[in-house]
A = this chain, B = another copy of it.
Amino acid sequence: MFAPVYFDYNATTPVLDCVREAMLPYFSQRYGNASSRHEYGRAARLAIDTAREQVAAALGAHPTEIVFTSGGSEANNLFVKGAAACMKPGTVAISAIEHPCVREPARELARHGWALREIAVDGAGRVRLDDFDAALAKQPGLVSVMFANNETGVVQDIALLAQRAKPGRGWFHSDAVQALGKLPLDFRRLNADGVHALTVSSHKIGGPKGAAALVLDKRVELTPLIAGGGHERGLRSGTENVPAIVGFGVACEWAAGRVADAAQRLGSLRATLERGVAAQGATIFGLGAERLPNTVYFAVPHVDGETLVGQIDRAGYAVASGAACSSAKPEPSHVLMAMGVAPELARGAVRVSLGADSTEDMVNGFLLALAETLRRLRGLAALAA
């Protein structure tokens, strides 16, 4: 396979060597069902217990607060639908820039008697405190604001928001899928601030696809999405995906130990990248807001994002246009729309997200390829004019 430079770590990440090696024995040797009581089952259960401790430790949570799911989308759906099912319909308040796997369940609640309140963001993609407070005035039963946005990388001040929401007595959830491994996360402290649940996912931090967790304050009552054998304290039935959970645990341990270093290293690469794209006439989204150290989201005026991404892919760099998860729809990003970006400019959006294997050379190579691609596209445009 032709191997382009991978600059799409917010979509997914390569599984780390140490993670893959840790998983391997659980496919064909220690392959037991963790519910079985014989030797194979006990080995599987032990592996899950260890992974639960690793995930909890990386997040400053207690192992009993970790509910394993098959992915971040499932964990977000579990929180939104599961908590709502234990309440009388009221108001669900979410930010206008949530991932579809928070937004769609919230919309489903709105079809079943709930009022859906979307909280506005400012031009830099930050939740507007005045609108957040206005949403709180509706006394929402559920509030969900993502920790860091998958497209822009903009980081919300979740502790501050949770503190403001705390007197309201609703449950406060944050989708922290993009934050894990890129920012320090401390559930114990966040919980004290009023955060009741966090979603984190394995495949965004060098772990395998197929494992994620809802970190959950045990006071929150949830109806499971998947009922059956009663796994995960009855909150998520189904045979545990042992190798994936083992890999998630190791990836958490690996990532937690490197957050500070990674942030510094990636932040420096990002600075190079941003200077370079700005010099080529790009608008960078979310400038002025605190952002993930690995993410640059930009558009070059009058250049279509899809086209640019396709050309750059051919030049050997894998980057994203809009969010990968909703890339079936070529509409301009709802995140950029919420930020008040003109649709024309939003259609040019390109996301570069860096990770563990990214280097300065790769960033410089990308900037050269971008310049070359823009020169060619502009030449074609001039010919057509």
- The answer to whether B70 touches A37, judged by C-beta atoms less than 8 angstroms apart, is no
Q: How far is the CB of A126 from chain B (nearest CB, A)?
A: 23
- Is A293 on the interface with B (CB-CB < 8 A)? no
Min C-beta distance of A104 to chain B, whole Å: 4
> By the criterion CB–CB under 8 Å, are A100 and B28 in contact?
no
Determine if A324 is an interface residue (Cβ-Cβ < 8 Å).
Answer: yes
Establish whether residues A38 and B8, one from each chain, have CB atoms under 8 Å apart when the complex forms.
Answer: yes
In the complex, residue of chain B having the shortest beta-carbon distance to the beta carbon of A20 = B27
Chain B residues whose C-beta falls within 8 Å of the C-beta of A72 in the assembled complex? 238-239
- The one of B13, B73, B102 in contact with A238, judged by C-beta atoms closer than 8 angstroms, is B73
Q: How far is the CA of A39 from the CA of B2 in the complex (A)?
A: 8
Separation in Å of the A203 CB from the closest CB of chain B? 6
- Known A226-B73, A230-B100; contact A35-B327, beta-carbon cutoff 8 A: yes
Binding-face segment, A50-58, A180-188, A189-197, A241-249: A241-249
The 8 Å CB contact of A37, one of B6, B17, B40, B327, is B327
Q: Is A286 engaged at the interface, CB distance under 8 Å to the other chain?
A: no
* Residue in B27, B100, B228, B313 whose beta carbon sits within 8 Å of that of A101 in the complex: B228
- Number of A residues near B (Cβ < 8 Å) is 80
Chain A contact residues: helix, strand, loop or mixed: loop
Contact of A105 among B39, B227, B306, B321 (CB under 8 A): B227
CA distance A12 to B240 in the complex (A): 11
Chain B residues with CB under 8 Å of A2's CB are 39
Which residues A239-276 have CB closer than 8 A to chain B?
A: 239-244
The answer to whether B4 and A237 touch across the interface, beta carbons within 8 angstroms, is: no
Cα distance A83–B41 in the bound complex, in angstroms: 34
Task: Tell me whether A29 and B43 are in contact (CB under 8 A).
Answer: no
- Indicate whether A1 sits within 8 Å of B30 (C-beta atoms), given known contacts A37-B310, A101-B237, A227-B104: yes
List A residues 1-44 near B (Cβ within 8 Å). Answer: 1-4, 6, 8, 11-17, 20, 23, 27-33, 35-41, 43
Q: Among B105, B239, B318, which residue has its beta carbon within 8 angstroms of that of A325?
A: B239
The distance in angstroms between the C-alpha atoms of A99 and B241, with both chains bound, is 19
Inter-chain contact A13/B38, CB cutoff 8 Å: no
Max count, chain B CB within 10 A of own CB: residue among A6, A17, A324 = A324
Residue A229 at the chain B interface, CB threshold 8 Å: yes
Residue A319 CB within 8 A of the other chain = yes
Please, could you name 25 A-B residue pairs with CB atoms under 8 Å apart, sorted by A?
A1-B43, A3-B39, A8-B32, A11-B35, A11-B41, A15-B31, A38-B320, A72-B239, A73-B226, A73-B228, A73-B238, A74-B226, A77-B226, A99-B229, A100-B227, A101-B226, A108-B223, A108-B227, A210-B244, A225-B226, A229-B326, A230-B326, A230-B329, A239-B325, A244-B244
Could you list which residues of chain A lie within 8 angstroms of chain B, going by C-beta atoms?
A: 1-4, 6, 8, 11-17, 20, 23, 27-33, 35-41, 43, 70-74, 76-77, 99-105, 108, 203, 208-210, 223, 225-231, 237-244, 306, 309-310, 313, 318-321, 323-329
